[in-house]
Structure 1
Amino acid sequence: MSDSNTTNAQKIAGAPTTVISAKPVVLSAPGRGEDLQVRISAPATGSGLPVIVFSHGFGWSMNGYAPLADFWAAHGFVVLQPTHLDSRTLGIPADDPRTPQIWRFRIADLTRILDGLDPLGASVPGLGGRLDRSRIAVAGHSWGAQTASALLGARVLGSDGVPGEDMSDPRVKAGVLLALPGLGDDLTPFAAENLPFLKPSFDTMTTPALIVAGDRDQSHLSTRGPDWFTDPYTYSPVSKSLLTLFGAEHSLGGIPGYEVAETTDESRARVTLIQQLTTAFLRSALYPEDTSWKAAVTALEEGPNPLGKLQSK
């Protein structure tokens, strides 16, 4: 690790810094039907900044998930949040011809952002040239986690059970997958008929990732219980960690935002833990000499009243 990278890693580990944010930053997206809108949040100072591309859950937009985006940016990351085509802010009707392929458009949105890092950085005064293109992570919640997982190597099974197209991206070095749906063996009839992309294979999801699941997350898309959300850990190769949060439902305490309708299990302590552990994981994944993750794991395991448990392989 160079001196400049060491300095940046220390900045990430330190106290929160001032954040600058810009929206909407627009990327041209031929064939998408809508240009891609992105929110950018970044530290006001510093160079060699690592990047997190975050994919929102169904119906959300670049304006959601402030508890995560703001925290990550305040701790040294440039956070890029696209608005996917399913966003309520776009109002695309269910019978739109793009609807059956929105899951593919979502993945393409993340790739388009990686392709457009230079113009995105240049669009925010003072940010151009400050991104470290060698330290990129993806993250997402729910459908967004499914979107992000494709860039880590997960694939969708076809009707014949054969894994489909490989959409992984070698530029992505790590991931955080929050409430990522599991295998497609036990889908409800509605999900099986209408959401064919919920038939993943994690066999080739080789990129290091932290998977976060709630032990009270009962999905309406699966006939199984909350253990469905641990499948991505169970069935993926090594270099994975699983954080199972006690008492957490699908919003994991409120990561989409506090006091919103989707937050059925509001817990600021739970969100704080997710903020800290995801930051520590990405820090150590992108800076191999950084010990933040090891320290965070020890703190969780030795705490008197832990909010969750960790497994790693």
Structure 2
Amino acid sequence: MSIRALLASAVLLAAPLPAFALQPTTIEAATTVAPTIQSIPAPDGRTVSMHVWTAPDEKGVIVFSHGFGGAPEAYDRLLAEWAGHGFTVIAPLHVDSQLHPQRRADGATAFSTRLMDLGVARAAVEQAHPGKPLIVAGHSFGSLMSLIEAGALTPAGPLGDPAVKGVIAFSSPGNIPGVVTGQTYAPLAAPLLMITGDKDLVPGFADDWQDHRTPFDASPAGDKTLLVFHDGDHQLVKADETFAPIVAASEAFLDAYALGDAEAKARLAAFAAPGVIVERR
């Protein structure tokens, strides 16, 4: 599906989708590495604020979606690391963010506008970074958005972008009734790195941490990796104790599937770290 068609479809999503609420993610202080901010018009008349971590030696691009209620700068440490590794990161400030000046936190609005925001971000990648391989990534609610970009199917219809080379999903919002169905991840053929922990809970949505396994378990086998951190909770993407292994695994994934680096793919296949259970299929 084209970017134009994806955006047109996203405008129509709010009405048929059920409203839901997710736990807002904690907004933490950013590190000293600051992104630039660009304002890009959206088809519905909004202006989307894009935080951009520009890679000094760009090899590829990542479109990142923050957690419900969160903000791109809450992930500054990791996104700056990815940029230093050669991947420019573009992260929209979604309307459900606690920092958005016109915040709207109802679930249907958050769902539809996020899809549009990410379509705008990918259109910007096409224009400003032509020919560069694209990976999508996200945390919590943002991970669901990224999985949809990579081919996951919801009642909104098929909105996968064939330009996506792979998806990095931190936690998930759980198996949201009316949004995540038994067939949601059946079309997800893209390479996947799913990262969660055995204390990764979202009360009311993922009361069992194993709900976060669903994209890994229910998608077609092949190029799928699951990392489960012992004592990792829903904020493990930002935790000091998980940072080094997350960087090692995610950068191997980026090199393997964005750049086609066989050595990196072998490194990911052999990845191991204390306190981390690794599964592959």
TM bracket, shorter-chain basis: 0.7 to 0.9
CA distance in 1, matches of 2:218, 2:209: 16
Q: Deviations over 1:255-278 (max 9, x none)?
A: 2xxxxxxxxxx4x23121111111
Gaps of 5+ in 2: 1-31
Question: CA 1:280/1:135 → structure 2, altered by over 3 Å: closer, same or farther?
Answer: same
TM-score if structure 2 supplies the norm length? 0.80
Which of 61, 66, 91 aligns to 1:81? It is: 91
* CA deviation after TM superposition for structure 1 residue 299, in Å: 4.7
Tell me, yes or no, if structure 1 residue 197 matches structure 2 residue 179: yes
Alignment of 1:24-63 (within 5 A): 24-32=37-45, 34-44=46-56, 46-47=57-58, 49-63=59-73
Tell me, yes or no, if structure 1 residue 103 matches structure 2 residue 107: no
Q: Deviations over 1:135-162 (max 9, x none)?
A: 10000000000111101111224xxxxx
Tell me, yes or no, if structure 1 residue 307 matches structure 2 residue 279: no
Alignment of 1:246-265 (within 5 A): 246-252=230-236, 254-255=237-238
Gaps of 5+ in 1: 1-18, 122-130, 158-163, 185-191, 256-265
Tell me, yes or no, if structure 1 residue 284 matches structure 2 residue 239: no
Question: CA 1:312/1:24 → structure 2, altered by over 3 Å: closer, same or farther?
Answer: same
Which of 211, 214, 225 aligns to 1:231? It is: 214
* CA deviation after TM superposition for structure 1 residue 103, in Å: 0.6
* CA deviation after TM superposition for structure 1 residue 206, in Å: 1.2
Alignment of 1:60-209 (within 5 A): 60-92=70-102, 100-117=108-125, 121=128, 131=129, 133-157=131-155, 164-184=156-176, 192=177, 196-199=178-181, 201-209=184-192
Question: CA 1:135/1:232 → structure 2, altered by over 3 Å: closer, same or farther?
Answer: same
Q: Which amino acid aligns with 1:156?
A: T
* CA deviation after TM superposition for structure 1 residue 59, in Å: 1.1
Equivalent residues of 2:144, 2:172 under 8 A apart: yes
* CA deviation after TM superposition for structure 1 residue 42, in Å: 1.7
Equivalent residues of 1:277, 1:293 under 8 A apart: no
Equivalent residues of 2:95, 2:104 under 8 A apart: no
Q: Deviations over 1:229-283 (max 9, x none)?
A: 111111111231111111100011x52xxxxxxxxxx4x2312111111111111
CA distance in 1, matches of 2:122, 2:90: 10
* CA deviation after TM superposition for structure 1 residue 64, in Å: 2.0
Q: Which amino acid aligns with 2:99?
A: T
Match of 1:260 in 2: none
Q: Which gives a bigger RCO, structure 1 or 2 (Cα 8 Å, sep 6+)?
A: 2
CA distance in 2, matches of 1:68, 1:95: 25
CA distance in 2, matches of 1:225, 1:275: 26
CA distance in 2, matches of 1:27, 1:237: 35
Give the root-mean-square deviation of aligned CA atoms.
2.4
Equivalent residues of 1:145, 1:180 under 8 A apart: yes
CA distance in 2, matches of 1:31, 1:178: 29
SS of structure 2 residue aligned to 1:86: coil
Bigger Rg, which one: 1
